[in-house]
Structure 1
Amino acid sequence: MSDTPRSPLYFAWRRFADNKAALVAGTVLLLIILMAVFAPLISKTGYADQKFLAQAYAFPEKQFWFGVDDLGRDFFTRIVYGARVSLTIGFTAAAFSLVIGIPLGAIAGYYGGRADWCVMRLIELFSVVPPLLAAMLLGALTNGGFLTIVLIAALFGWVQVCLLVRAQVKAMAQKEFVRAAQALGATPGYIIRRHLIPNAISPIIVGFVLAIPLAMMLEASLSFLGIGVPPPTPSWGQMINVGMNFMYFYWHLAVFPTAALAITVLATTLFGDGLRDALDPTLKGR
């Protein structure tokens, strides 16, 4: 048996692999992402093509896996392209959440005192305001759209990232390597950028992944209310909104987009929880 010491990444992978729910969720999420990326290869028609008007409202069958919608469009195609919209908004909003949350969390954790007080009061402000209510107001003022949803999701998604980074930086601010850098004359900005943030990469990754389902749910909620991504671009929330009008007669128009959204959000959440447990530095390798 080799005595070569194992890296922390190895033990993190071991912990993640032992979490069967997270492993399955990661696999499902990867398949959904691949389906969205290669949507033109999977579907035979475009998401706006009304080629099946004669079969409008058709139920799922061999030719139409998920049926046909009220405008004669293949419903499976719209579900697949809808994944592109939801995932793009989720990942983009999560990235903007990092841009806002990382510097604020690092400043609050490193400086403490008045800077920490100001950041925490800002977090409390965003925690008190209901995200959906604020999103509805901003969405109505701007008429919705892709960029509006991303901005709204980022404005409420950065809080979790900020808290994670703040806790990690605060715990490491008094470590020996930080004090050594200070003794050598390193500026606070250099220490935060080169030492503290790289060592806080685990909570940053977790915060990024967990911000994705929040943005997706917000997009679906706004689209359901009619202030999301404008048609004919498919959105799962928009499709649920339309499908609810036919729920009692054509169940597939509401069930399939709802199931797609639920599965994606659940898979992303379980994957994020698995990453959080696997990257937890308090857990030791076995």
Structure 2
Amino acid sequence: MSTIMDRTRGAAASPKSPWPETPWQAAGRRLVDCPSSSVGLVVLITLLLSVPTAALIGARFGNGPLERALAAGQGSLAFALLGGLLGAAVGLAWGVAATALGTRAERSLMRLAERLAGLPLVLALPLAAGLAGRGLWVLAPAAALTAAPFIALVTRAELRTLLRREFLAAAQAAGVPPGRILRRHLIPNAALPLAAAAWTALPRALAAESFAGLLGLGLPTPVPSWGAALAAAIRAGDPAALAAPALLLALTLWALHAVGDGLRAAVGGRSQHAAVGGGRP
């Protein structure tokens, strides 16, 4: 009798959902289950909430080194988001075009991506600012360049791996046009790993802008940034003013990388969800 009651309580404590878990839900669960990525998410959310609050408090009541450093993060975080999104979009389009346009175009595009990825692209932003000025129309594409070649290589590799899957081979054998295969099968199945690859554009854009700001070639002077704050603290010889933006920048970069690692680990564990929609051709 007690055994039957224990089983009944156990079944009630862990009910099964009538709906199957989607690949995105499974990846999100694995991301949250990873301790480092969970901490990274908390850090990023805290920073995103603290930075505008610190800027508002500083404008009204004055502030100390930490408040000034948080307020300086407004420009850095906004630019990292802009440059990261642009770099991710360019890299994804680059990889998709290389896969869709045929063998000759693929070789040319990927050869260019490989050569660019082997260069110290963090120098692209200060070089562009020094040669063409510090306008946003110059800095944002230069920041995008720091991530786009890498994302293009990952995109092409992921799409090529999917092309060897059985359900895609069946679609090709059935005479489905390449454009429809790309739109209906490749891109939906590659969405999760490509999203994880695109995330890497954010820390790359932030690091590039901070390096350029440290050299005095980052965002324009009225726009606050951690790189500019570091440069000003070094010129003034103020250790307290130097420590706060340096720690916040390092913490943000760590959090972005931790979340990126968690995303890649979450995508790598989606064995039972390898094909979206059942992988039907």
- TM-score tier (shorter): 0.7 to 0.9
Q: Secondary structure at the match of 2:223?
A: coil
TM (norm. structure 2) is: 0.81
Amino acid at match of 1:241: A
Evaluate the alpha carbon distance shift between residue 194 and residue 34 of structure 1 in structure 2; reply closer, same or farther with a 3 A threshold: farther
More off after superposition, 97-106 vs 207-216: 97-106
For 1:204 and 1:118, how far apart are their aligned partners in 2? Answer: 21
For 1:120 and 1:9, how far apart are their aligned partners in 2? Answer: 29
More off after superposition, 96-105 vs 109-118: 109-118
TM (norm. structure 1) is: 0.79
1:21 aligns with 2:36: yes
For 2:53 and 2:131, how far apart are their aligned partners in 1? Answer: 35
Deviation at 1:25, TM superposition (A): 0.7
Kindly indicate whether the alpha-carbon contact (under 8 Å) linking 2:37 and 2:258 is maintained by their aligned counterparts in 1. Answer: yes
Counterpart in 2 of 1:45? 59
- Supply the RMSD in Å over aligned alpha carbons: 2.6
Amino acid at match of 1:140: G
Deviation at 1:83, TM superposition (A): 2.0
Aligned residues: 258
Kindly indicate whether the alpha-carbon contact (under 8 Å) linking 1:85 and 1:235 is maintained by their aligned counterparts in 2. Answer: yes
Deviation at 1:156, TM superposition (A): 2.2
For 1:132 and 1:199, how far apart are their aligned partners in 2? Answer: 32
For 1:175 and 1:132, how far apart are their aligned partners in 2? Answer: 36
Kindly indicate whether the alpha-carbon contact (under 8 Å) linking 2:99 and 2:160 is maintained by their aligned counterparts in 1. Answer: yes
Kindly indicate whether the alpha-carbon contact (under 8 Å) linking 1:92 and 1:150 is maintained by their aligned counterparts in 2. Answer: yes
Deviation at 1:65, TM superposition (A): 4.0
Deviation at 1:141, TM superposition (A): 1.0
Q: How does 1:1-286 map to 2 (within 5 A)?
A: 1=11, 2=15, 4=18, 5-38=20-53, 42-45=56-59, 64-66=63-65, 76=67, 78-109=68-99, 113-182=103-172, 186-247=176-237, 250-281=238-269
- 5+ residue gaps, structure 1, are 53-63, 67-74
Kindly indicate whether the alpha-carbon contact (under 8 Å) linking 2:90 and 2:148 is maintained by their aligned counterparts in 1. Answer: yes
Kindly indicate whether the alpha-carbon contact (under 8 Å) linking 2:38 and 2:259 is maintained by their aligned counterparts in 1. Answer: yes
For 1:81 and 1:148, how far apart are their aligned partners in 2? Answer: 24
Amino acid at match of 1:108: A
Q: Secondary structure at the match of 1:45?
A: helix
Kindly indicate whether the alpha-carbon contact (under 8 Å) linking 1:98 and 1:204 is maintained by their aligned counterparts in 2. Answer: no
Deviation at 1:85, TM superposition (A): 1.2
For 2:138 and 2:261, how far apart are their aligned partners in 1? Answer: 28
For 2:58 and 2:75, how far apart are their aligned partners in 1? Answer: 19
Higher RCO (CA < 8 A, seq sep 6+): 2
Deviation at 1:214, TM superposition (A): 0.7
For 1:155 and 1:10, how far apart are their aligned partners in 2? Answer: 31
Q: Secondary structure at the match of 2:105?
A: helix
Counterpart in 2 of 1:59? none
How big is each residue's C-alpha offset from its partner over 1:23-45, in whole Å with a ceiling of 9 and x where there is no partner?
011111111122335555x5241
Deviation at 1:263, TM superposition (A): 0.7
How big is each residue's C-alpha offset from its partner over 1:35-78, in whole Å with a ceiling of 9 and x where there is no partner?
335555x52416xxxx87xxxxxxxxxxx442xxxxxxxx61x3
Structure having the higher helix fraction is 2
Deviation at 1:272, TM superposition (A): 0.8
